[in-house]
C-alpha cells in the first residue's frame, strides 16, 4: 500500500494579477460575465488536469547537489526556492529527517526560483551555484543552509550579503562575483528550472520521494512537517 502524506500542502504559488472592468455599462458587464463564465466552464471541463499531478522526474545527475549515500533506500528530490518561507520550513524538516534516518535517505536539492513573487530568488540561486562550483558540494549545502536563515524576501539590500557569506566559507570574492554573472552559472540554473518544469512544479517546495528498490515515485506537495514525513518514511522502510 502506498504511504499517504496527509493534510493540504502549503506551497508558494505563482498567481496572475487580477484584471478589473472599468466604467462599463451594467448590461454589458452582465453579458461579458455570462460569456466568460461559459468559456471558463468549458475550459475547466476540457483541459483541467487532476490536482497535484507529477510530471517527468529527471534521475539524479552527477551535477546535482546531494547529501546522503547512493545506497540509501530512499531518495528525496526537492525543488525549492531560498526566498520562499514555506521552503524554509520544509528545509528544517529535511534537516531533521537526515539526522533521524542516517544512511536511509539521499537528499537531492534542485533550485526552482519563483522570480515573479520572490525578487531575490534568482540571484540567491546563482550565488549557491557559484559556491558549489568554486567550493564543492559540502560548501554548497552550508551556503544554502545560510540562505534559509535570513529573511531576504522583498529586500534587495539583502543581496549584498551573498558575497560576504561566500567569503566566510573561503570562497574568493573576485571569482565569486565573476561566476555569478557568468553564462555557465546561468546555464546550470536554467537546467534545474527546466527539470522542475518537466516535473510540473507549480509551487515550492515540491519533493519527490523515490523508493529506490522499486522506482516508485511519491510526490510531496508543500511544507510537510517532520511528523508527517516520518509517518510516510516509516511506512516505506517497514
Q: Strand, helix or coil at 87?
A: helix
Residue 49 lies in a domain: no
Nearest to 106 by CA among 75, 77, 78: 75
DSSP characters for 13-53?
E--PPP----S--HHHHHHHHHHHHHHHHHHHHHHPPPTT-
- Residue whose cell numbers read 534559509: 148
| pTM, full prediction | 0.79
pLDDT at 155: 63
Q: What is the CATH number of the domain that holds 103?
A: 3.40.30.10
- The domain total for the chain is 1
Q: Please give the residue range of the domain that contains residue 126.
A: 65-237
Q: For residues 113 and 130, give the distance between their C-alpha atoms in angstroms, rounded to a whole number.
A: 16
Mean pLDDT for each consecutive 10-residue tract of the chain (238 residues)? 55 49 41 36 34 87 96 98 94 98 98 91 95 98 91 67 94 97 97 96 96 96 97 96
Q: What are phi and psi of 110, to 5 degrees?
A: -125, 140
Amino acid at each position: 500500500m502506498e504511504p499517504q502524506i496527509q493534510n493540504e500542502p502549503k506551497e508558494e504559488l505563482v498567481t496572475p494579477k487580477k484584471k478589473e472592468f472599468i466604467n462599463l455599462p451594467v448590461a454589458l458587464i452582465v453579458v461579458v460575465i455570462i460569456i466568460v463564465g461559459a468559456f471558463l466552464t468549458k475550459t475547466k471541463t476540457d483541459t483541467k488536469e487532476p490536482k497535484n499531478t507529477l510530471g517527468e522526474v529527471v534521475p539524479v545527475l552527477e551535477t546535482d547537489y546531494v547529501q546522503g549515500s547512493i545506497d540509501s533506500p530512499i531518495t528525496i528530490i526537492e525543488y525549492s526556492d531560498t526566498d520562499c518561507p514555506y521552503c524554509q520550513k520544509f528545509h528544517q524538516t529535511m534537516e531533521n529527517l537526515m539526522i533521524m534516518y542516517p544512511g536511509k535517505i539521499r537528499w537531492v536539492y534542485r533550485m526552482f526560483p519563483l522570480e515573479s513573487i520572490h525578487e531575490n530568488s534568482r540571484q540567491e540561486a546563482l550565488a549557491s551555484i557559484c559556491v558549489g562550483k568554486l567550493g564543492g558540494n559540502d560548501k554548497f549545502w552550508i551556503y544554502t543552509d545560510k540562505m534559509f536563515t535570513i529573511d531576504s524576501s522583498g529586500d534587495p539590500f539583502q543581496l549584498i550579503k551573498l558575497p560576504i557569506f561566500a567569503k566566510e566559507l573561503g570562497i574568493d570574492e573576485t571569482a565569486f562575483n565573476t561566476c555569478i554573472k557568468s553564462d555557465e552559472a546561468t546555464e546550470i540554473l536554467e537546467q534545474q528550472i527546466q527539470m522542475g518544469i518537466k516535473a510540473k512544479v507549480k509551487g515550492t517546495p515540491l519533493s519527490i520521494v523515490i523508493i529506490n528498490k522499486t522506482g516508485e515515485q511519491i510526490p510531496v506537495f508543500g511544507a510537510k512537517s517532520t511528523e508527517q514525513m516520518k509517518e510516510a518514511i516509516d511506512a516505506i522502510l517497514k
